[in-house]
């Protein structure tokens, strides 16, 4: 019984520590659709918010999806949202956060999608402001 309790304590402690680490490296901010782009988006269009390495693989490091009707909105991205376990935000010194309105529903950018992004930031950046203000050519 003592071994079981010790094991539970260790696992729970690691889970809590992992959650704290993920929160410390999370990026947070807000996403809004510019007034100029509002008439180009349908309320049910999908919005992908993701982080990718500033240099390196183009595959998103963390991602989640919403709909245009949810904008403006606050967001938080962290390592628990990784698409591949070995490819996490915390493994990179510099990232870019992108918000894209997908007209097709696909996460891959296509001509006519609407997009906005941050400049290069470090994992753990807080208070980012992304305005979706351009059309993908």
Q: Is residue 44 over pLDDT 80?
A: yes
Query: Is the pLDDT score of 17 beyond 80?
Result: no
pLDDT at 5: 36
Mean pLDDT over each residue of the chain, to the nearest integer: 86
Res 97: pLDDT: 98
Domains and CATH numbers, the chain: 2-135 (2.60.40.1120)
Cβ pair 68, 33 in contact under 8 A: yes
Q: Which of 91, 101, 89 is nearest to 125 (CA)?
A: 89
Q: Provide the token pair at 136.
A: 């993908």
Q: Where are the alpha helices (DSSP H) in the chain?
A: 2-24, 35-38
Q: Please, which pLDDT band fits residue 51 given cuts at 50, 70 and 90? A: very high
Phi, psi (rounded to 5 degrees) for 7: -60, -45
Q: What is the pLDDT of residues 90-120, one digit of tens each?
A: 999 999 999 999 999 999 999 999 999 999 9
Separation of CA 129 from chain center: 13
44-73 average pLDDT score: 96
Global pTM value? 0.82
CA distance 8 to 16: 12
């Amino acid at each position: 019984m003592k071994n079981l309790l010790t094991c539970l304590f260790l696992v729970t402690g690691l889970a809590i520590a992992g959650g704290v680490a993920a929160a410390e490296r999370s990026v947070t901010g807000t996403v809004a659709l510019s007034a100029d782009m509002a008439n180009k988006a349908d309320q049910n269009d999908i919005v992908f918010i993701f982080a990718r390495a500033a240099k390196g693989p183009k595959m998103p490091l963390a991602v989640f999806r919403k709909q245009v009707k949810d904008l403006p909105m606050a967001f938080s991205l962290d390592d628990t949202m990784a698409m591949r376990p070995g490819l996490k935000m915390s493994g990179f010194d510099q990232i870019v956060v992108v918000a894209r309105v997908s007209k097709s529903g696909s996460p891959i950018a296509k001509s006519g999608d609407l997009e906005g992004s941050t400049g290069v930031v470090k994992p753990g950046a807080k208070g980012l402001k992304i305005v979706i203000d351009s059309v993908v050519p």
